Amino acid sequence: MAQDFFSELRRELGEVGTAVRESWRNMGTSWHNWRRRHELIDYVIVPISGPLPERAAPRRGFIQRQLPLPPEPMSMQELNSIARSLADADNVGGVVFVLQDVGGGLATLQSVRRMMQRLREAEKHVVVYAPALTNSFYYLATAADLIIAPPSAMFEVLGVRSEAIFLKNALAKLGLSFDNIQISPYKTAANMFDKADITPEQRAQLDWLLDESYDMLTADMATGRKKPKKR
């Protein structure tokens, strides 16, 4: 009986010791996590690359996840979510955006700029690293507090351009023609199929669009760098 009593006592004391050690371990982990959450972070590095579609793609199915497919590109939805989290984080001082082959059109670039501006409004220091200063990279970079580029970077902000393709002659060589009922000379979407060259109206329309884009780009760049806009 006495032997059974002491065996049971040792077992229970062992369980108590294990529970105490586990409690101390959990307390240490909680303390470490609390310190990490409140530890001041100078900068968070966020790479930006790819076409930046507006919405994230649906989650891949089980079979797709087993295939060696390239990762889904980052979307504006995901980028804005990251930016909101960083803006709300009291322990983050700033964000470094590393530009890597950013695609997308002008509307996408404007969305990225607005995201950077919201971070600055949240009193986060925004830095942009650009491997080259092209039209799109410099347009994004001018929304930041600081622009960093390597000494080898080329400044290639060369203005805006557009081009039109005409397939009438190529189709004729194949014995094909295109009938187009044009309700206005400025409705030029089908001109590439039934015209051999650009019309005065299409040229005027493209000139107007280029002027609008140029004025908007230069105005945003000048505002971002606190410089007077010069034509």
Using CA atoms, how far residue 133 sits from 39, 92, 137, in Å, is 34, 27, 5
Same domain, 136 and 154: yes
pLDDT of residue 126: 98
Same domain, 25 and 64: no
pLDDT of residue 34: 58
Same domain, 49 and 152: yes
Per-residue pLDDT, averaged over 6-10, amounts to 66
No. of H helices and E strands in the chain?
Answer: 8, 6
Q: What are phi and psi of 144, to 5 degrees?
A: -95, 165
Q: What pTM value is reported for the model? A: 0.74
Same domain, 132 and 197: no
User: Which tokens sit at 87?
Assistant: 């803006």
For the cut 80, the answer to whether the pLDDT of residue 118 exceeds it is yes
For the cut 70, the answer to whether the pLDDT of residue 100 exceeds it is yes
Q: For the chain, how many structural domains are there in total?
A: 3
Average pLDDT, the chain: 86
Q: Note down the domain range covering 6.
A: 1-39
Which among 106, 128, 102, 123 is positioned nearest to 50, based on CA atoms?
Answer: 102
For the cut 90, the answer to whether the pLDDT of residue 3 exceeds it is no
Of the pLDDT bands very low, low, confident and very high (cuts 50, 70, 90), residue 146 is: very high
Same domain, 46 and 146: yes
Same domain, 69 and 113: yes
pLDDT of residue 62: 75
* Residue 189 near residue 202, CB atoms below 8 Å: no
Same domain, 189 and 108: no
pLDDT of residue 230: 67
